[in-house]
Amino acid sequence: MMRHLQAVVVSLGLLMTMSANAKKIANRQTPPLRPNIIFILTDDLDAGSAAFMPRLKALLIDQGVSFSNFFVSFSLCCPSRATILRGQYAHNTQILGNRPPDGGFEK
């Protein structure tokens, strides 16, 4: 009787240990992979210019994502770039033009 009770206690102990480890393994998940994003911003480049740059077309346009339906919140270069890079509208970044003091750099 004592041996039987001892075997039951040992079996229960092993079962509890294994179930605790199984729960830890089940909870240990690999974190989701973050997307690999490379954002390339060009200025004063129209769609027809890509025909003169076949390597650019092969690497970026054919294998990447191209936005064809979009709008800008401010139609000048400096405020638009600041909006894209900072995620804020031009009136929040205080970059309202292409020339100093409202934006841009001294030449």
What is the DSSP-derived secondary structure letter of residue 28?
Answer: -
What is the DSSP-derived secondary structure letter of residue 12?
Answer: H
Which tens digits make up the pLDDT trace of 54-103?
887 788 778 877 777 878 888 888 898 889 889 999 999 999 998 888 88
pTM above 0.75, yes or no: no
Domain map (residue ranges) of the chain: 74-107
| pLDDT confidence of residue 73 | 84
Chain Cα centroid distance, residue 15: 43
> Has 78 been annotated as catalytic?
no
| pLDDT confidence of residue 53 | 82
Which tens digits make up the pLDDT trace of 1-26?
677 677 766 676 666 777 666 656 65
Neighbours of 61 (CB within 10 A): 13
Q: Which of 60, 77, 93, 97 is catalytic?
A: 77
Reduce the DSSP state of residue 60 to 3 states and report it.
Answer: helix
CB 98 within 8 A of CB 107: no
- What whole-number distance in Å separates Cα of residue 87 and Cα of residue 12? 58
Q: Is the pLDDT reported for residue 33 higher than 80?
A: yes
| pLDDT confidence of residue 15 | 66
| pLDDT confidence of residue 89 | 92
